[in-house]
């Protein structure tokens, strides 16, 4: 599943204006991993990105932190602990240590 958000121009923005442009989740065929890809607005200061994946019961099955992201477009592969079929929810938070969260997005994907 992929979610696209309103596009912006390519001028680097201050931290107060940084947002996710789009996020995407692509489960692997093995049912044990998922690739999370995203793009953020062009930035003047490197943002932090937190990714958490929860199963249908709300249990945390995967997560990672990206500190001071160097690229506006990135992708990570996460291994799903105790995974099985069903819906999963990926939550992404873009933040700065001195400003807190600037944008939060979620998307749901299925493991068959």
The per-residue pLDDT for range 69-91, each reduced to its tens digit, is: 999 999 999 999 987 888 999 99
Residue 24, beta-bridge partner list: 2, 37
pLDDT computed for residue 1 by the predictor: 56
Domain spans of the chain?
A: 2-111
Higher pLDDT, 33 or 4: 33
Kindly report, residue by residue over 87-110, the tens digit of the pLDDT: 999 999 999 999 999 999 999 999
Is the per-residue pLDDT at 54 higher than 80? Answer: yes
Is the per-residue pLDDT at 18 higher than 70? Answer: yes
pLDDT computed for residue 9 by the predictor: 63
pLDDT computed for residue 90 by the predictor: 98
Measured distance CA(96)–CA(54) in Å, rounded: 23
pLDDT computed for residue 21 by the predictor: 95
Residue 67, beta-bridge partner list: none
Count CB neighbours of 23 within 10 A.
Answer: 22
Domain at 2-111: CATH architecture: Sandwich (2.60)
pLDDT computed for residue 7 by the predictor: 52
Q: Using 50, 70 and 90 to split pLDDT, how confident is the model at 112? A: confident
């Amino acid at each position: 599943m992929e979610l696209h958000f309103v596009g912006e121009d390519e001028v680097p923005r201050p931290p107060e204006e940084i947002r996710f442009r789009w996020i995407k989740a692509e489960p692997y065929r093995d049912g044990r991993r998922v690739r999370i890809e995203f793009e953020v607005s062009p930035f003047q200061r490197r943002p932090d990105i937190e990714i958490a994946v929860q199963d249908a019961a709300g249990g945390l099955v995967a997560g990672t932190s990206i500190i001071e992201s160097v690229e506006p477009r990135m992708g990570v592969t996460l291994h799903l602990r105790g995974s099985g079929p069903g819906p999963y929810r990926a939550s992404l938070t873009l933040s700065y240590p001195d400003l807190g969260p600037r944008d939060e997005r979620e998307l749901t994907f299925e493991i068959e």
